[in-house]
Structure 1
Amino acid sequence: MMKQLGITLGALVVALSTGPAMAETKLTIATVNNNDMIVMQKLSKTFEAAHPDIKLNWVTLEENVLRQRLTTDIATHGGQYDVMTIGLFEAPLWGKQDWLVPFTNVPADYKLDDVLQSVRDGLSVNGKLYALPFYAESQMTFYRKDLFEKAGLTMPDQPTWAQIGDFAKAINDPTHGVYGVCLRGKPGWGENMGQISPVVNSYGGRWFDMDWKAQLDKPAWKDALTTYVTLLKDYGPPGAAANGYNETLALFASGKCGMWVDATVSAGFLTNPKESKVADKVGYAHPPVGKFDKGNHYLWAWALAVPTSSKAPEAAKSFVYWATSPEYIALVAKENGWASVPPGTRKSTYDNKAYLDAAPFAPLTLATIETANMHDSTQEKVPYTGISFVGIPEFQNIGTAVGQTFSAVIAGQKTIDQGLAEAQATTERAIRQAGYPKP
């Protein structure tokens, strides 16, 4: 009896000394394989240290794959993910469907009013915020100052696409592994079409007229696509049809591109000597215009959202608050330097002298974000919102299909006229099957 009691008391002493066991919450976070998200994953050990009861599981995917998996999971209420990396396209559409947990009663120390209004608006529906921005971006023209100086060229603050062609010809030097210009060719509504659509806007084009009739057979589309394809054909790197964001970023950072028109978020990476061989040689200008400056640059944000299918929505929201907070920005600055912090989300970042001193591109980034108008980006009226995309659910399939066709044009497998005819037919068929114009 005493022996039995001794065992019981011993077990009790051990149990009391170790305290109650905490139930561990596992959060699965799906994100894109961009540099800033990889940094977030690395620094997330700080969050786990402060939340020992939460364990983070990361699913990091290429952009097109991420979008496919998240769309399937959220539409079927699959519940595979607790935190999703989405953007200005998905947040309002999915929020309207009640597929996302709204961010209400945001903690005061998060300083929500510090988040740029244009970005908040893009992530909201009917006054409800459905995602918080990790970083926001527009577009800019990156160029090699050393190559321009050698060729006796001056990049204007606001170049035209015609000037980009002239510059590309002057600095193109493929025998030494330097190409005049790099642009995305990889198919995808957020890959090559995310870059081509603003070019179309700047030549006076649009995806649809007010009756939802496809407009890809109009002269503005031919002008834009001819400009884009000719630049890559004559002065671009080999295999451009397969190059997406990450590939073109790597090309420029390794010194193989004389110019690159793409996301403003790239500037921090390109000015980091640990990541970029041309860190001290990069110049910045506004994104080019064709015939008009309206709609020539997009607005995008990679944001973090919590699906209603999450089994741990409160824990998921606590992670989202951390990863998009002023404290996280300061943590990145401490670890990687101010030039590398996630840009485009908070006014306080652009009021910070340390950031402005470290990031010569900051004023241009902010200017392009603040002047990108998703509700007025075309010369003629349109029934949709968006600059680089059409804000309807069907555009994921339409944009990707058209992107595949245009990638084939870039690869030389189709002519420009063939590509436009095929894209027009694809878009007409998809929009008709979807029942547009809707009553």
Structure 2
Amino acid sequence: MAADGARTHDLVVYGATGFVGRLLADYLAGHAPEGTRIALAGRSRARLEEVRAALPPAGRNWALLEADSTDPESLRALAESTRVLATTVGPYARYGLPVVEACARAGTHYADLTGEVLFVRDAIDRCDAVARETGARIVHACGYDSIPSDLSTFLLGRRAAADGAGGLRDVQLVATARGGFSGGTIDSMRAQVEALQENPALRRVIGDPFALSPDRAEEPDTRQPRDAGLPTRTADGRWTAPFVMAPFNTRIVRRSNALQDWAYGRELRYSEVMGTGGGPVGAVTAAGVTAGLLGAVSAMSFAPTRGLLDRVLPAPGTGPSEAAREKGWFRMVVDATAEDGRRYRATAGGKGDPGYAATAVMLGEAALALALDGDRLPDRAGSLTPASAMGEVLVERLRAAGHTYEVTER
């Protein structure tokens, strides 16, 4: 494990030449406090120089570090050089485990953007114990997957506890957003489908609502809502469709609950759906979204149709234009019932394409919290979640960055 005095950087952006890596670097150059020691890392120094030259003035003198996920020695040196490593290099199941392992051994805090259940499960099994020994905070899901879900439920649990309402019971998130897909997101979805084809037994992991639990045997015997597979209606008449991120986000929230000694309640039932509006238009949209998701998953499951999708979907390293990113937004409404029957609502939202512009804010603030706010963070190490690793500190940072996180009693 590297001594803090030997670390020459506070924060390294690994994957800085990728689509989201560039957005993250740009955000940090405009928002990191003066004097924060930041470096950019990737496989090609020439490409790193191009990224650095296009940054706001504060980032144009940042150090450049060459590292490759296939070169363990380069990852060891990278991890030992910094207090925090934020990585955008995916698919994480394909490239991420060596990076997590290097950070865990070095005692280096780590943040990523993964939405891959299988990767996080592997990272927990391989690296949690080592990271707890070295003091590394390994924090997955620090973007739109899954910060709004995780922090909203964290705030609901705290509010119910402060009011003496007991734990949370039934919690449902309804997501609405405007945004696009990048090639990296598509590549991650493809990698998980391929993993399931190679090892069908992994379907049990994917299907387990407590797949990311720190101790599966200790989880309460609470029947969890199934990830929605059909259009449904909320109590107030709004139509909903399956939410593509629900199978991952729900498991992160449940892990957060367990890591905090079930602070949200032992009877927590948590689900997520996508809001499509009311009336006939909402119904038709819900049906269309459902059919589209089923079609995409089916197409990715077969090599011939997967090849056709590759011709029309974004390639790795690409994503929405700047104009499209600026027009994007997200809003999540999370309704909860506490053990004593009181009802609460959390609202999370922000401007910018949720998977890219808003995600750069989320990962940027998470990385800065790990690098600069250590004395205010919960006293935890190991394989963590945004809520269990940073909690209220990250909520404060995101509010200051312009995102909304509110809780009211209904």
Higher RCO (C-alpha under 8 Å, 6+ residues apart)? 1
Instruction: Give the TM-score normalised by the residue count of structure 1.
Output: 0.28
Q: Which of these two proteins has the greater Rg computed from alpha carbons?
A: 1
Q: TM-score, with normalisation over the residues of structure 2? A: 0.29
